[in-house]
Amino acid sequence: MSRLGDPERVKHASEIVTHAAPSLAGVLDAALAEGGWFGPAHEDLLRRASDEADPHERLAAVRAVVDEQTRLGMLVGVAVGFELARELADSHPSTSEEG
């Protein structure tokens, strides 16, 4: 796990993700849609948050929806990332050991 904190590895991973970001966004959107993450229940939450009469309560409700969207996006994004890494590893077998 300490390799995850290596600044060079993070920089390299960031460059790969930045380059692939447009297509990855589409994959993430499709995964979220197909998983039903943002279906009718999500629309209901948005409607209830926007209908809140008290401005402070409305802001709290909107923040809660955004927090939930962020968590779901991250969860599904990580799952998609794991699967992408697996596919890349299967299609490009390594010929050398990395340390």
Q: Phi first, then psi: give them for residue 95, nearest 5 degrees.
A: -105, -5
Which domain, by its residues, includes 76? 22-91
CB atoms within 10 A of CB 60: 12
Report the share of the chain in percent with pLDDT over 90: 22
For residue 14, CA distances in Å to 19, 48, 62 come to 8, 37, 30
- Asked whether residue 9 is domain-assigned, the answer is no
Task: Count up the domains in the chain and report the number.
Answer: 1
- Asked whether residue 57 is domain-assigned, the answer is yes
- Asked whether residue 14 is domain-assigned, the answer is no
Task: Give the predicted TM-score (pTM) of the model.
Answer: 0.61
Question: Is the confidence at residue 94, as pLDDT, over 70?
Answer: no
- Asked whether residue 26 is domain-assigned, the answer is yes
Q: What is the mean pLDDT of the chain?
A: 82
- Asked whether residue 72 is domain-assigned, the answer is yes
**Nearest in space to 21 (alpha carbons), one of 81, 98, 96:** 81
- Asked whether residue 7 is domain-assigned, the answer is no
